[in-house]
A and B are shown apart, each in its own frame.
Chain A
């Protein structure tokens, strides 16, 4: 069935079933992926999918479903299922869909992959790793091109089309020397093009070098209170706590430690953090929110002061607080004034945190976990890679106490982060 015909037919069926508000997203995707295992490009994967996501509100009762079988009989069953699900739902005036907005089409990236270039980049990366880091085993590496074409339509006249094609690549690796093995490490990136070699992206060249060093590790000699330098690779674990706590779940529940924090200090004044889905600076850019509004860029934290929550339309209606202009992610943290060398030089005793492996922090922000791919710093110098080293503290305090931010940053395609330093962690 033609796309317009399918969408109109589904809208009509939903209205006929009694839904007064309906949102549809029809997505057609195509993925081409090359996989490497153990230095061989040994899997080429091609995948096609079409999925329809349907949200229906009937007398303030909401239900949603998604399916990828788009036969008429399957759509009819989906409408029947939604009717059954909505009838069981309690009423809530907070359920809603986006109002009418001017129709728009958005286009990001290419529509087709450069398959030869994908192969060449991956082959060159394997070769680079073998030549420069012979003791490093590339456990997994993959490069893919994924294209989505989406139509977002609702019963209030919303009608958007989004076409987006992105390259994604990642590598996971371990080094071995005799019977010594390093911790595995990984990094990846998203991009609209493959202008650079893979190892030039996402700090991979440096991480591969570090992996070789990390076959010989030592435990720290005693528990201490010290500084933590959080690398760009570990930043998501810390920023993620804050963004989760200003989003729907915690804010609606009333358990967020940031629940009355707008225009108050939530981090060090050295931190300015933006969400930039509309700027196309990042390959993870998105033109629309999940609710069907056109997404805008925003500064989430301005010199330590919280500017906005990350509430959806439902979260805004439930809490009475403003809806966010985007869905978060696409995070870009401003660069600082200090060089990375200066951050390290300013540490009496501490850890350069390459990767954090720990449990999810509790609602207060308390966390503890293992410092992976990390280094012990003493008297301003990196001493040795560590093993069996735990870091414990409180994430809200870590963010508040940041006392240095690096000029250097790493661009992952979905985020751009610098290194930051924070004191007062328990390292054991």
Chain B
């Protein structure tokens, strides 16, 4: 993306204006049983302006970054804001002030890998599966890459540039059980970075694939989970999903204002004292996280948002408007998916903090329950009731792993369930393979240790 001289264009205006130049670049390669069924690229770029007048926003976007286009969107955004603001002024008349600048470029410094080489990489992974496991019913290997490049300037003086890439490889496998029914599993492998930084030697994935097949074969003999309230060990991947769905969404300030129960629980005990939860901006314990946001799409410095501290609900995630409404500090959570989208309050790297326990001791402590290892999707609710799917899990009987269980769903009321947490492992797992959906999609990462708790299981 070619940067533009936004500063000069946004300085000369009256009233508050933001300009954002953005380019999203995506690629996808998918093999289905060895056939290439997807080989595509998308580039979507353009300029947007957002203007604030009498508590109302005007927004305009154009797929062009010429000076003429920039002036057009500034005028249109200003006109839109005035049209609304004069008709019916909004409640929040002033935005929380912000001034921050910086450039954050996470592009790869390695030589570019061509499309042909990427296809070869995916074919190599696929060939390993086909050669070693010829009896599988079906296999899909999918590689996706995504770059989000943004340049920002506001009349308040904030200036920013960021290029945040991520790469994802998904392996979907299907086997047949003894009744000839398809049994499926998938493994997402994802990280911050362009392809060149994330995927090197296909052989480095062989162990992950072998483990996936081992679990899949056990799943062909899976038993149904027993429905009802159960004692479970959630693997780190599920704890991360819990942090995102069960607590994260309920503590986004726009949802709080829209009736989320979290609004009633500030400074109250909502979890066991073992539980602390943070939406990290970019770094945890000195390590750069998978979706590193240093400056958000309102020009606000991104800071960690502490959601739960030793079981107490402490705060929410904000944009400038919500921070003003709640008279609190900014957190820098405003992000937009494409150039034509307005920034919304979005999570970044949401996680439960690790504890001191060991996974094998946690499993040993369960007499009759489940070890839940992998998830597909999840959803939140204003009531803090959460749901997410479980695509891999095992029975625990008398502290030992038993039968694999069939796909199921777990749910609970977050602020009740979290009070049952009595063990947390000392390690952390992060995942950035999916999207968070709200009015727009957005890349997010989620993380956590293994967690022992009580949860509602779907099943027989």
B259 at the interface (CB under 8 A from A): yes
Of the listed residues B59, B258, B375, the one surrounded by the most CB atoms of chain A closer than 10 A to its CB is: B258
Chain B residues within an 8 Å CB radius of A108:
none
B67 at the interface (CB under 8 A from A): no
User: Given A46, A50, A81, A257, which contacts B59 in the complex, CB threshold below 8 Å?
Assistant: A46
Chain A residues within an 8 Å CB radius of B237:
none
Chain A, residues 390-428, CB within 8 Å of chain B (1/0): the string is 111000000000000000000000000000000000101
- A50 lies within 8 A of B63 (CB): yes
- B41 lies within 8 A of A81 (CB): yes
B189 at the interface (CB under 8 A from A): no
Chain B residues within an 8 Å CB radius of A263:
none
Bound: A43/B53 CA distance, A:
10
Chain A residues within an 8 Å CB radius of B323:
none
User: Given A31, A139, A252, A359, which contacts B255 in the complex, CB threshold below 8 Å?
Assistant: A139
- A252 lies within 8 A of B32 (CB): yes
Bound: A182/B41 CA distance, A:
42
- A388 lies within 8 A of B183 (CB): no
Chain A residues within an 8 Å CB radius of B356:
none
Chain B residues within an 8 Å CB radius of A369:
387, 409, 458
A89 at the interface (CB under 8 A from B): yes
A184 at the interface (CB under 8 A from B): yes
Min Cβ gap A228→B in Å is: 14
Min Cβ gap B267→A in Å is: 15
Chain B residues within an 8 Å CB radius of A47:
59-62, 340
- A368 lies within 8 A of B408 (CB): yes
B315 at the interface (CB under 8 A from A): no
Bound: A69/B37 CA distance, A:
26
Chain B residues within an 8 Å CB radius of A49:
46, 61, 63, 340
Chain A, residues 159-191, CB within 8 Å of chain B (1/0): the string is 000000000000010111001011110000000
Chain B residues within an 8 Å CB radius of A174:
258-260, 382
- When C-beta atoms are compared, the residue in chain B nearest to A136 turns out to be B259
A114 at the interface (CB under 8 A from B): no
Q: Total A-B residue pairs with C-beta atoms closer than 8 Å? A: 267
Tell me the dominant secondary structure on chain B's binding face. Answer: mixed
A101 at the interface (CB under 8 A from B): no
Chain B residues within an 8 Å CB radius of A318:
35
Chain B, residues 404-427, CB within 8 Å of chain A (1/0): the string is 001111011100000000000000
Chain B residues within an 8 Å CB radius of A368:
227, 407-409, 458-459
- When C-beta atoms are compared, the residue in chain B nearest to A139 turns out to be B258
- With A65-B41, A87-B116, A183-B382 in contact, do A366 and B61 touch (Cβ < 8 Å)? no
- B383 lies within 8 A of A370 (CB): no
Chain B residues within an 8 Å CB radius of A390:
227, 409, 411, 456-458
Min Cβ gap B354→A in Å is: 26
Of the listed residues B39, B174, B391, the one surrounded by the most CB atoms of chain A closer than 10 A to its CB is: B39
Bound: A140/B118 CA distance, A:
42
- A359 lies within 8 A of B377 (CB): yes
Interface residues of B in 39-61 (CB under 8 A from A): 39-46, 55-61
Chain B, residues 87-107, CB within 8 Å of chain A (1/0): the string is 110110000000000000000
Q: Could you jot down 28 A-B contacts, CB within 8 Å? A: A41-B87, A42-B55, A43-B84, A45-B59, A46-B80, A66-B43, A69-B45, A69-B64, A84-B115, A84-B116, A89-B119, A123-B88, A140-B258, A142-B439, A172-B258, A181-B260, A181-B382, A182-B382, A183-B382, A183-B385, A184-B259, A359-B375, A364-B182, A370-B385, A370-B387, A387-B413, A391-B458, A428-B227
14 new A-B pairs (CB below 8 Å) besides A85-B39, A428-B228? A31-B340, A41-B87, A41-B88, A81-B41, A85-B41, A90-B36, A182-B382, A183-B383, A255-B182, A357-B379, A364-B181, A388-B385, A388-B412, A426-B459
Which 6 A/B pairs are nearest by Cβ-Cβ distance? A359-B389, A368-B458, A88-B116, A139-B258, A174-B259, A428-B227
The interface of chain B, by Cβ under 8 A from chain A, is: 32-33, 35-37, 39-46, 55-64, 76, 80-81, 83-84, 87-88, 90-91, 114-120, 123, 137-138, 140, 174, 181-184, 227-228, 254-255, 257-261, 264, 340, 342, 375-377, 379, 381-383, 385, 387-391, 406-409, 411-413, 439, 456-460
